[in-house]
Amino acid sequence: MANKKPIIDLKHKNIEYQENNQTIKLKTFNKKNMTIDITIYENGKYMKDSNIVFAHLPKSIKSLIKPL
C-alpha cells in the first residue's frame, strides 16, 4: 500500500479567498496536524505568512482541498 503524503502543496492550485479586506492565499496543507500555511495580502500588498486550522476555512474552500 502506498504512503500518502502528509503535506500537500496547494500553491499550483491558486486557491484564495477574501476575509476582512484581506486576500488569503493557501500554500500548503499538513494532513497530520490539519493545518494550512497561508499568505495574507491587504490591498494587494503582502502582509505576512501564517497558518490556520483547517476547520477555520470557509466551507467552499474546504471542498476544494478534500483532506481525506
pLDDT digits (tens, 9 = 90+) for 10-27: 999 999 999 999 999 999
The grid cell for 20 is: 476582512
Q: Can you tell me the distance from the alpha carbon of 32 to that of 67, in angstroms, rounded to the nearest whole number?
A: 10
Q: What is the pLDDT of residue 52?
A: 95
* 42 has pLDDT over 70: yes
Contact between residue 53 and residue 61 where contact means Cβ atoms under 8 Å apart:
no
* 2 has pLDDT over 90: no
**For residue 20, how many C-alpha atoms fall within 13 Å in the half-sphere facing its CB?**
1
The grid cell for 6 is: 502528509
- C-alpha torsion angle, residues 26, 19, 22, 20 (rounded to 10): -160
